[in-house]
Amino acid sequence: MSFIFYDTETTGTDTSFDQILQFAAIRTDGELNELERFEIRCRLHGYLAPSPGAMRVTGIGVQQLTDTSLPSHYEMVRAIRAKLQAWSPGVFVGYNSMSFDEPLLRQALYQTLHTPYLTITDGNCRADAMDLVQSVAFLAPEALKIPLGDNGKVSFKLDRLAPANDFNHENAHDALGDVEATIHMCRLIRDRCPDAWSNFSRFSQRAAVVDYVSAEPEFVYLAHYFNRPYPYAVHVLGFDEEQTSVAYVIDLATDMPELAAMTDEKLAARLRRSPKPVRKLKANTAPFLMDRFDAPDHVQQRLPSENIAQANLAWLEANPDFVARVLDIYQSGQDEFEPAIHLEQKIHESFLEKIDLQTLEEFHEAAWEDRHAIVERIVDERYQQLGRRLIYCERPDLLPEQVRTAIELEMNGRLLGTELGGEPWLTLPKALEQTDDFFGSAEGDELKLLTELREYLAARLHELTGH
């Protein structure tokens, strides 16, 4: 299977409300030899305020944001989707992609009337190179040079990490440059730590993770929180009934009889408190897993002894009622999310029905003049609203006046915000305020970029308010 390395540059860091402005990807074979590359940029949505902090980092200026010769967001996403489907099936790899690029890509697909789960369907799977780097830094400290950040602590930021490991990263924070840097780090790990690379490749496959954790009574699960490694010797208690990719694992360092003696109320409280005796393991996120005896000595020293682990395994096997009780209390104690208010936040509320999937395909193939009628046939209210918004962005003249006016009022309201604030997205007044905050430390090209950005933001605000 091939690897598809990808990266995005965006209007900001909010994965629900910001927009991809640049997307780049390189497809390699299983040996990391480049096969093909793809890059595309687009202009800014008319209803978004770009973050000056993000523009300052990426160097994307007003010229690109307003360049009508560039594709619209919809046109860009259609091109991205077509390319990625042509490259599929593959392993999608980014750097910190699970937390950032993947949610942004999903939003881009969702907001342009596509199913959002491209990287984990139709034979595709995903993995995060940042997790791999962090795991190697812990398991084989001599393999990579891990730089320090401005705070004097280790930094896994790609713009510091890649140069520290002999990559010429002049194009840091350019999507294609970051893809090349990610591939460079993966090649280093493949050559210097082949076992870690093999582990990464193997467990990028959801089925391989499920098979492994189901067959092994005990294994080591290596997690990272705030750049710090935490190895756990764990046992699978069971899988989530609805999310079949989620396994519930118990730390074999836990005093099982002590948990069993607790009341349900106290047990529920203990399961929420760190160090957590039970945690989720997501099979579709390429977790780093290994046999206890394959772990280096310094890792084994942080695990419970083999005798303790075996004793706890025997106790769990002899007490199935306790296992069932823990699973029931743990799952019932999971936080219930408040109903989403905004359309973007409703992305995971439900899957599309087959009839809507067919309607969406018809939408993308139709002439713009026919698309509003098609949108009105969509059963899923989320996608119906997104469809109207999409037509408003691309061809507002084709919407009925009442619909167009309502969307325009909503989008302008988003840009202006309210007197009380509190919106989850960036407004024009807030963006102007942030731009002004950066002026004191800016100079040269950065000062020029911020000056042009401020002029653009002020002009947009004047256009909407008249002052």
Domain ranges of the chain: 2-194, 205-332, 348-465
Does residue 335 have a pLDDT over 70? no
Prior bond to 89 cis, omega within 30?
A: yes
Does residue 185 have a pLDDT over 90? yes
What letter would DSSP give residue 154?
Answer: B
Handedness of CA 308, 314, 316, 319 (dihedral sign): negative
In the prediction, which pLDDT does 337 show? Answer: 67
What would the pLDDT profile of 216-262 be if each residue is shown by its tens digit? 999 999 999 988 999 999 999 999 988 889 999 999 999 999 999 99
Order of strands, sheet of 228-239, starting from the edge strand that comes earlier in the sequence: 278-282, 246-251, 228-239, 219-225, 288-290
What letter would DSSP give residue 422?
Answer: -
Domain 2-194: top CATH class? alpha beta
Helix (H, G, I), strand (E, B) or coil at 299: helix
Strands (E), 183-244: 219-225, 228-239
Q: Is the pTM of this model over 0.85?
A: yes
pLDDT band at 175, cuts 50/70/90?
A: very high
Percentage of the chain surpassing pLDDT 70? 99
Least confident of 126-140, 259-273, 412-426: 412-426
Two structure tokens written together for 467 = 């002052």
Q: In what helix (H) or strand (E) does residue 5 lie, and over which residues does it extend? A: strand 2-10
In the prediction, which pLDDT does 194 show? Answer: 97
Q: What CATH number should be reported for the domain whose range is 205-332?
A: 3.30.1520.20
Interatomic CA distance for residues 312 and 330, integer angstroms: 19
In the prediction, which pLDDT does 40 show? Answer: 98
